Structure 1
Amino acid sequence: MSFTSDTILVALELSNTLWLVGTRLPGIRKSHIYRIDAGDTDALLKLLGELQSRNQKTSKTGASIACCFEAGRDGFWIHRLLTDHNIPTHVVEPTSILVNRRAKRAKTDRLDVEGLLRVLAAYLAGDTQICSMVRVPTPDEEDGKRVHREREYLVQERTRIENRILALLATQGIRSRPSLRTWERDIAVLETGDGRKLPRHLTAELNRLRRRFCLVRELITELDAERDELLATTPPSDIVAPKVAALAGIYGVGSNFAAVLAREVFYRQFGNRKQLASYVGLTPIPHQSGSVDKDRRIGRAGNARVRKTMVQAAWLWLRYQPDSELSAWFRQRVGALKGRARRIAIVAMARKLLIALWRFTETGEIPAGAILRTA
């Protein structure tokens, strides 16, 4: 059955060197594939204009264009460019597309772009379960995430450098690194486990790693100062900044955790708590077949950065908010159990804590039994 919509369908398959543009005109089942250089937006806009002109000549009626591409390395600038030219554009979540479940499937860019055309046609026809569309953030919302994301990368780099220093020292039988404040003095008298001086090239490498380590620490401090300054001088148009300040006012929720939660999650609108937990990937996967009806592990299909932050925040909540209802629930559920049972319970608590903090930012409802810093 041919597609009868009056919309010109366009799908983009993006790569570093070449863009494939799949098109399907109204009433025509066969699709056409065009190749343009990656990043050549003038050629893309010219092609879309020619498609509209060609369709108008054959059908004598104007047709709108709907475009889609998969979220990936190119970000959202293409979406903003096409939207500015009045071309409705959808960003598809790649892992949400329903595919053939056979173990072996052919994979080419041409097949991918034709598959995107089918997905777009079904989505516009009303089948919203065929895939998930990404909510494209505004440029300000996207830029607001840069500080805490860069900080996360620098913290990982700091850990990697420190582990490298410790690993190099361990190869010489040394179990702890010298102090950064007295590095030069300590490294000069440091001896290996068998009583030798540190080799010359190893000492030079350690000195370079120490300089890199100190530089990363300075950059983290600089980012922390920038984050606090932005929060203190935020413009009235930034509706997320008050949520960051409110979260940071809860004892046990630090400034960085507050920024991650507000900038990554709470800037969006959620209809209910299930949507919120599903977005973060903290909801269990239901498994029902015949007489079997149970929940499996969490989906992990959401924002991994926030999911990790929430698990860390849940452990800290137990330490800094021991009298809250959430902490009491955890102690009652876990008791003296250790190991896997405790790790499973902390994930459930992270989901409850996420919902409680969301309600706090939306309605001002303080989590039961929680203590605020201002108190």
Structure 2
Amino acid sequence: MNNISIVFIGLDTHKEFFEVAHELDGRDNRVLHDARISSAKSSVIKMARDFQSKYPQATLHFVYEAGPCGYWIYRLLTSLGHCCYVVAPSLLPKKPGEKVKTDRKDAMKLAHLLKMNDIPIIYVPEAEDEAVRDLSRARQTATNDLNHARCQLKGFLLRNNICYDDTANWSLKHLRWLNELILPHPAQHIVLQEMLNTINERMKPLARLVNELEHQVKQWCYYPVVKAIQAMRGIRFLIAASIIAELGDLRRFDNPRKLMKYLGLTPSEDSSGDKRRLEKISKCGNGRARRLLIEGAHSYKFPAKVSSEMQKRQEMLSKEVIDIAWQAQLRLCKRYQRLMHRSKHRNVVVTAIAREMIAYIWAISREVAIAPIDVKKRIARVPA
């Protein structure tokens, strides 16, 4: 026991309890199941202290699967001075004949895979970064709720053959027109008024969330990156803040190809022998950030130019950032038209543009000076 240097501890986490298993370093040691403990913080701290007292000369390495329990376990164990890793459940290796799955076996499997250094470790954001991400997602949820209510009202009007002649939907003029509508039946008027009340009620929390997001992002350590990537065409404040909130620190990617793969924007491949077959994009990464990029990629169908609004967004930015943004606009606008002339489907073209957009965003993030962080601490690896 005195020669033990590392103890690998697997945790199968649930809402009310954790299953704990451990395995010692060395070829002759096998994985052992310990116990089921409560999910309270005091129980987790006691479990870590018991392992530390049992193996005083060893380093404790904990591992658990990412899930609804969040990252508080990671932050608690790292604050105690131990190593902790969070893994992606979908990327864990599984044997074809393995038909029995229990919490106990999962904990033992995690401990053994951590010892074999054959486990997919994911990026864990800081508490402040996760808070900004939660605020950004709440804003997006409020936007979706508002759009859903608007679609219901437009469908109701379409069924009754009521059309708005102007083009500016949901403007003040459009809302006044909706309030002045007179329907043939009193019941229909009640339905219309209830839908209008729902839209008005959902606009208020959305406005509050947008204001709060603007306030919080300006105090965030990644605000210089959020401000810099707005030099890109199709990237305004809300999209820029949401992209950085979802992706976090872009410096952890060595090259933009890894970032494209992380977002699921690279095509899947099924090649064999001399035949190379590229299929649809993998969609294996962050779907929210991928959707925002595709939304911004639609703006490159127009000729390249710097509008007055874009000039305002580029104020106080460095020349290197502005040059990268202009180079991106020249290339992507030309590429958009070239792919369309080759009779490519519009969705394919927009996806290709979004894939290159994230490469330029990665390049811009390299030009921005932000507070230094310990990247190795965030993405710790198991020693070989």
Tell me the equivalent position of 2:281. 298
Please give the secondary structure, in 2, of the residue aligned with 1:324. Answer: helix
Q: Whole-Å Cα distance in 1 between the matches of residues 92 and 303 of structure 2?
A: 42
Residue 190 (structure 1) shift: 0.8
Q: Structure 1 residues 135, 183: CA separation in 2 closer, same or farther (over 3 Å shift)?
A: same
Matched residue, 2:317: none
CA distance in 2, matches of 1:49, 1:230: 37
The CA deviation at 1:257 is 1.5
User: In the superposition, relative to structure 1, how do residues 137 and 198 fare at CA in structure 2: closer, same or farther (>3 Å)?
Assistant: same
Alpha-carbon deviations, 1:45-75, whole Å to 9, x = none? 212322333345xxxxx22211011111121
How far 1:289 moved relative to its partner? Answer: 1.6
Shift of the alpha carbon at 1:86? Answer: 1.0
8 A contact 1:281–1:298 mirrored in 2: yes
Distance 2:211 2:145 in 1: 19
2:84 to 86, 89, 92: 89
Q: Which TM-score applies when normalising by structure 1?
A: 0.79
2:366 & 2:55 partners in 1: Cα distance? Answer: 48
Counterpart of 2:102 in structure 1: which amino acid? T
Q: 2:270 aligned to 262, 267, 287, which one? A: 287
Taking the TM superposition and a 5 Å limit, the aligned residue runs for 1:208-287 are 208-230=194-216, 234-235=218-219, 238-265=220-247, 267-269=249-251, 270-287=253-270
Separation (CA, whole Å) in 2 of partners of 1:267 and 1:15: 29
The question of 1:352 aligning with 2:353 is answered no
The letter of the residue matching 1:91 is V
Aligned-residue offset at 1:230: 4.2
More moved, 210-219 vs 86-95: 210-219
Counterpart amino acid of residue 214 in structure 1: N
1:239-279 CA-partner distances (Å, limit 9, x unpaired): 41112112223443221111122333362312111111112
Matches within 5 A, 1:19-58: 19-26=18-25, 28-38=29-39, 40-55=40-55
**Residue 59 of structure 1 aligns with which residue?**
none
| Structure-1 separation of matches of 2:303 and 2:107 | 51
Q: Percent identity?
A: 22
Cα distance in 2 between the residues matched to 1:329 and 1:91 = 39
Residue 298 of structure 1: how far off its partner (Å): 1.7
In 2: Cα distance, 1:320 partner to 1:144 partner: 34
Q: Is the 8 A contact 1:166 1:175 kept in 2?
A: no
Relative distance call for 1:336 and 1:268 in structure 2 (3 A) is closer
Q: Is the 8 A contact 1:266 1:358 kept in 2?
A: no
| Offset at residue 204 of structure 1 (A) | 4.8
Q: How many residues align?
A: 332
One-letter code of the match for 2:43?
A
Match of 2:338 in 1: 332
Q: CA deviation at 1:169?
A: 5.5
Query: Quick one: structure 1 residues 353 and 169, their matched pair in 2 at CA, closer, same or farther if it must change by over 3 Å?
Result: same
Aligned to 2:8: 9
TM-score by length of 2: 0.77
Give distance in 1, aligned partners of 2:301 and 2:346: 12
Query: 1:333-375: per-residue Cα shift (whole Å, max 9, x none)?
Result: 330626xx332232122111111222123237xxxxxxxxxxx
Cα distance 1:332–1:320, how it changes in 2: closer, same or farther (>3 A)? closer
Q: Given the alignment of the two structures, is residue 310 of structure 1 paired with residue 293 of structure 2, yes or no?
A: yes
Please state whether the residue corresponding to 1:261 is helix, strand or coil.
helix
Alignment-derived partner of residue 190 in structure 1? 183
SS in 1 for 2:295: helix
1:318, 1:298 → 2: CA distance? Answer: 21
In structure 2, distance between residues paired with 1:266 and 1:71: 17
Q: Over the residues paired in the alignment, what is the CA RMSD in angstroms?
A: 2.8
Larger RCO, structure (CA 8 Å, separation 6 or more): 2
2:230·2:240 contact (CA, 8 Å) conserved in 1? Answer: yes
CA deviation map 1:120-152 (0-9, x unaligned): 1112xxxxxx33211211112222223322111
Bigger mean CA deviation after superposition, 304-313 or 258-267? 258-267
- Whole-angstrom distance in 2 between the partners of 1:164 and 1:17: 40
Unpaired runs of 5+ residues, structure 1, are 57-61, 124-129, 192-196, 365-375
| Greater mean deviation of Cα atoms: 11-20 or 322-331 | 322-331
Paired residues of 2:21 and 2:34 also in contact (CA < 8 A): yes
**Which of 159, 166, 177 in structure 1 is aligned with 2:147?**
159
Counterpart CA distance in 2 for 1:30 and 1:96 is 21
Structure 1 match to 2:115:
121
Change (3 A) 1:183 1:314: closer
Q: Secondary structure at the match of 2:116?
A: helix
C-alpha contact (below 8 Å) 1:285/1:296 kept by paired residues? yes
In structure 2, the partner of 1:368 is: none
